[in-house]
A = this chain, B = another copy of it.
Amino acid sequence: MTTQPACYRKLLKRMREVSLLNSIAGVIEWDQNTYMPAAAAAYRAEQFACLGERSHRLFTARAVGGLLTECEQLGLAPDSVEGANVREWRHHYDRATKLPASFVVKFERTKSLAYEVWREARGQSKFELFQPHLSKIVDLVRQKADYLGYEASPYDALLDGYEPGARAERIVPLFAELRAGIVALLGPAREQSAATPADLLRGEYPIAAQQVFNQRVAAAIGFDFQAGRIDTTTHPFCNTLGAGDCRLTTRYDEKDFTDSLYSILHEAGHGLYEQGLPAEHFGTPAGTAVSMGIHESQSRLWENHVGRSRTFWEYWHPIACEYFPGLKSLTPDQVYRAVNRVHPSFIRTEADQVTYDLHIMLRFEVEVKLVNRQLEVADVPAYWNEQFEQMMGLKVTKDADGCLQDVHWSTGGIGYFPTYTLGNLNAAQLMQSARRGNPSLDGDLSAGRYETLLAWLRQQVHREGSCHRPRELMEKVTGERTGIRAHLDYLREKFVGGQGT
Contact B24 A28 (CB under 8 A): yes
Cα of A226 to Cα of B36 in the assembled complex, Å: 9
Q: How far is the CB of A358 from chain B (nearest CB, A)?
A: 38
Residue pairs across A and B with Cβ atoms less than 8 A apart, 7 shown, are A17-B50, A20-B50, A23-B43, A37-B227, A39-B245, A43-B244, A47-B242
Contact A245 B50 (CB under 8 A): no
Cα of A241 to Cα of B47 in the assembled complex, Å: 10
For residue A38, CB closer than 8 A to chain B, the reply is: yes
Q: How far is the CB of A402 from chain B (nearest CB, A)?
A: 36
Contact A31 B27 (CB under 8 A): yes
For A20, the chain B residues whose CB sits under 8 A away are 46-47, 50
Contact A229 B43 (CB under 8 A): no
The A interface, classified by DSSP as helix, strand, loop or mixed, is helix
Contact A226 B39 (CB under 8 A): yes
For residue A44, CB closer than 8 A to chain B, the reply is: yes
For A50, the chain B residues whose CB sits under 8 A away are 17, 20-21, 24
For A226, the chain B residues whose CB sits under 8 A away are 37-39
Contact A40 B231 (CB under 8 A): no
Contact pattern, A 40-56, Cβ under 8 Å of B = 1, otherwise 0: 11111011001100100
State the A residues within 8 Å of B (CB): 17, 20-21, 23-24, 27-28, 30-31, 35-44, 46-47, 50-51, 54, 224-229, 231, 241-245, 282
Nearest neighbor of A245 in chain B, beta-carbon distance? B40
For A225, the chain B residues whose CB sits under 8 A away are 37
For A41, the chain B residues whose CB sits under 8 A away are 244
Contact B37 A229 (CB under 8 A): yes
Q: Which 10 A-B pairs have the closest CB atoms?
A: A39-B244, A40-B245, A39-B227, A43-B243, A43-B242, A20-B50, A40-B244, A39-B226, A27-B28, A24-B47
Known: A27-B31, A35-B229. A242 touches B54 (CB 8 A): no
Nearest neighbor of A25 in chain B, beta-carbon distance? B24
For A23, the chain B residues whose CB sits under 8 A away are 43, 47
Most buried by B among A30, A50, A54, A231: A50
Cα of A224 to Cα of B23 in the assembled complex, Å: 30
Q: Which of B24, B36, B241 meets A245, CB within 8 Å?
A: B36
Contact A42 B244 (CB under 8 A): yes
For A36, the chain B residues whose CB sits under 8 A away are 245
Given contacts A23-B47, A31-B241, A37-B245, 4 further A-B contacts (CB under 8 A): A17-B50, A37-B229, A46-B242, A54-B54
Q: Which of B35, B38, B42, B242 meets A231, CB within 8 Å?
A: B35
Q: How far is the CB of A164 from chain B (nearest CB, A)?
A: 26
Contact A37 B244 (CB under 8 A): yes
Known: A20-B50, A50-B20, A229-B35. A242 touches B44 (CB 8 A): yes
Q: How far is the CB of A288 from chain B (nearest CB, A)?
A: 14
For A47, the chain B residues whose CB sits under 8 A away are 20, 23-24, 27, 242
